Amino acid sequence: MHSEEQKSVLVSGGRGFIGHATVKLLQRSGYRVLSLDLGTVIQTQPVTNSQQIQCDLEDVGRLQDVFERNRISGIIHLAAILPTAAQRNPLLATQVNISGTVNLLEMARRFRVERFVFGSSLSIYGTYPAEHVVSEGDATVPEDLYGAAKLYVEQMGRAYRESYGLDFISLRIGRVVGPGTNSMSSAWRSEIFELLTTDHPAEICVPYRPSERILVVHVDDVAQMLLALLSASSTKQTIYNAPCSAIVVEDLKRVVVHRNPRLTLRLGQGIPVGNPRALDFSRFENEFDFKIVPIFDRLRKVN
């Protein structure tokens, strides 16, 4: 017997960068949210439609207890070991990104969750020529453990959809930017927003060559896309490329420095690998009538 009648949405990785933005958006949209994360619960001012739960996805008993105590109608699965950490600790990455996800899929099957939205990644495509516009129909050839795990989960989700009727949907997301990433390996993704109004000289290091084109998307747009997939009465597809901005690195430098001359953007000589550099995301845009806010527009409006 469930301890309460109100249906809930579970967000795994709810205290992560994308998870935090998604939880806040769900709350504002009237959902009751279970924010699931491995980290210790932070005591904050009570929110009537949200609950933080400390839970390891590998702990099947604890996970089952969460589902027994709550009527969970939807899942947004974002918990993962990210690429750099996955390369350093491949065993942990496999346990979390694959085994933990399988445990969550099993709970979704057993407790008849209505929809399972998976935060996938454009890294499942691997590197494509700069001029090749990648669509959902292109071959998936991930080049690292993180991308390979995302692809495996998509295949697992498809199997659960076909075998058990679980409404599994995958959103393939590019490089996410915005304040608060707390990333050690890609600090520039947040610094271009966090330092934009600084009164002191500061340097931001972007590892790519000036002429390179990269795909980026703001975290708030990602949260909006995840909500659209969760709340749709039905979806035409099971896999969607997430809309994003294709920006040239030199243009990023120009916009940021023009916005605040105290900033210096030091560019590297890196080539974006492991991800497409041009993307077709019309499937999502057309079905959900969705337009992102271009990254340069967001940067120009930071106060």
**Ordered mean pLDDT values, 10 residues apiece, the chain (303 residues):** 62 95 95 88 59 93 96 96 90 93 98 98 96 97 96 97 97 95 83 94 96 97 98 96 97 96 96 94 98 95 85
Q: 133 and 200, same structural domain?
A: no
Q: What is the DSSP letter of 283?
A: H
Over residues 251-266, the pLDDT tens digits come to: 999 999 999 999 999 9
Inside any domain, residue 258: yes
**Residue carrying structure tokens 């496999």:** 94
Same domain, 33 and 130: yes
- HSE (CB half, 13 Å, CA atoms) of 230? 27
Q: 180 in a domain, yes or no? A: yes
Tokens 């050839």 correspond to 141
pLDDT of residue 186: 87
Nearest to 134 by CA among 238, 2, 282, 250: 282
Does residue 284 lie within any of the structural domains?
no
Residue 1 domain flag: no
Do residues 66 and 159 share a domain?
yes
pLDDT value at residue 2: 39
For tokens 């979390």, what's the residue? 96
Q: Are 60 and 171 contained in the same domain?
A: yes
Residues marked active site are found at 146
In a domain, 282, yes or no: no
CB atoms near residue 111 (< 10 Å): 16
121 and 146, same domain (yes or no): yes
What pLDDT, on a 0 to 100 scale, did the predictor assign at position 41?
58
288 domain residue, yes or no = no
Q: Are residues 13 and 50 in the same domain?
A: yes
CA atoms within 13 A of residue 109's CA, in its CB half-sphere? 16
Show Cβ contacts of residue 156 under 8 Å, excluding neighbours closer than 6 positions. 101, 102, 105
Looking at the structure, tell me whether residues 43 and 77 fall in a common domain: yes
Residue identified by tokens 């750099």 is 84
Amino acid present at 96: V
Same domain, 113 and 182: no
pLDDT recorded at residue 40: 58
- Nearest in space to 107 (alpha carbons), one of 13, 27, 10, 22: 10
Q: What's the pLDDT score for residue 5?
A: 47
Residue 130 lies in a domain: yes
Question: According to the model, what pLDDT value does residue 42 have?
Answer: 57
Please check whether residues 42 and 55 belong to one and the same domain: yes
Answer yes or no: do 154 and 183 share one domain.
no
Question: How many domains does one find in the chain?
Answer: 2
Residues 112 and 94 in one domain: yes
Alpha-carbon span 173 to 92, nearest angstrom: 22
Residue 292's pLDDT is what? 96
pTM here?
Answer: 0.94
Q: What H or E segment, with its residue span, contains residue 221?
A: helix 219-231
Calpha distance 255→122 (Å, rounded): 25
Return the ∠ at Cα 22 (arms to 77 and 228), rounded to 5°.
Answer: 80
> Quick one: pLDDT at residue 44?
52
| Contact by Cβ (8 Å): 135, 122 | no
In a domain, 15, yes or no: yes
Q: Which residues contact 83 (CB under 8 A, 6 or more apart)?
A: 123, 144, 145, 146, 147, 185, 274
What CATH number does the domain containing 133 carry? 3.40.50.720
My answer on whether 139 and 255 are in the same domain is: no
Which burial class, exposed, middle or buried, applies to 177 when counting CB atoms under 10 A from its CB (0-12, 13-18, 19+)? buried
Instruction: For residue 270, give its domain range.
Output: 176-216+244-277+293-301
